[in-house]
Amino acid sequence: MPWIDRNRCTGCGLCVDNCPAEAISIAENLAVLDMENCIRCGSCHEVCPTESIRHDSELTDGEVEANLQEAIQHAQSCADLKGNTLESLASLERHIKHYKRQKLVAEKTLERLQHVLAYQNEEYREKTASE
């Protein structure tokens, strides 16, 4: 998913004009993305003259660190609020279960999407061959 580097964006509006889903607007001279409407088409990446529209893969390390800190904080709160240090371990285990489930969902989604892509590729090849 795209995101805006606020330090680079000049508010020129080129991305707004080229977004087919009307998912970008300008507010206070900065581009703002509406992720509910974004269809991940990539047009905004291509037209931005200042490379302000960044790829989400660049956020991975920060997101991992934030998840880690949140889990550690929750574990500590569990131990403090329930008055038992063992609650911290149980909380960490619950976080691990949560991320394992998310991983499973991502893996299964990926597998299904790869099938959809292969099927659509085949359909496209057959269609262009018959033209």
Stretch that binds ligand SF4, among 39-47, 61-69, 73-81, 97-105 (CB under 6 A): 39-47
Stretch that binds ligand SF4, among 12-20, 77-85, 102-110, 121-129 (CB under 6 A): 12-20
Using alpha carbons, list the distances in angstroms from residue 5 to 11, 30, 44, 46, 53. 11, 9, 13, 15, 6
Q: Judged by CB, which is closer to ligand SF4: 38, or 72?
A: 38
6 counts as binding ligand SF4 under rule CB under 6 A: no
75 counts as binding ligand SF4 under rule CB under 6 A: no
How far does Cα 46 stand from its chain's mean position?
18
29 counts as binding ligand SF4 under rule CB under 6 A: no
Write down the least CB distance from residue 56 to ligand SF4, Å.
11
User: Which residue from 10, 77, 85, 109 is in contact with ligand SF4, where contact means CB under 6 A?
Assistant: 10
Cβ atoms 8, 52 nearer than 8 A: yes
Q: Quick one: residue 21, left, alpha or beta (phi over 0 = left, psi -120 to 50 = alpha)?
A: alpha
Q: Quick one: residue 34, left, alpha or beta (phi over 0 = left, psi -120 to 50 = alpha)?
A: beta
Stretch that binds ligand SF4, among 7-15, 68-76, 102-110, 114-122 (CB under 6 A): 7-15
CA–CA gap between residue 83 and residue 62 (Å, rounded): 31
Can you tell me which residue has the tokens 């550690």?
Answer: 72
Residues that bind ligand SF4 (CB under 6 A): 2, 4, 9-15, 19, 21, 23-24, 31, 33, 38-44, 47-48, 50, 52-53
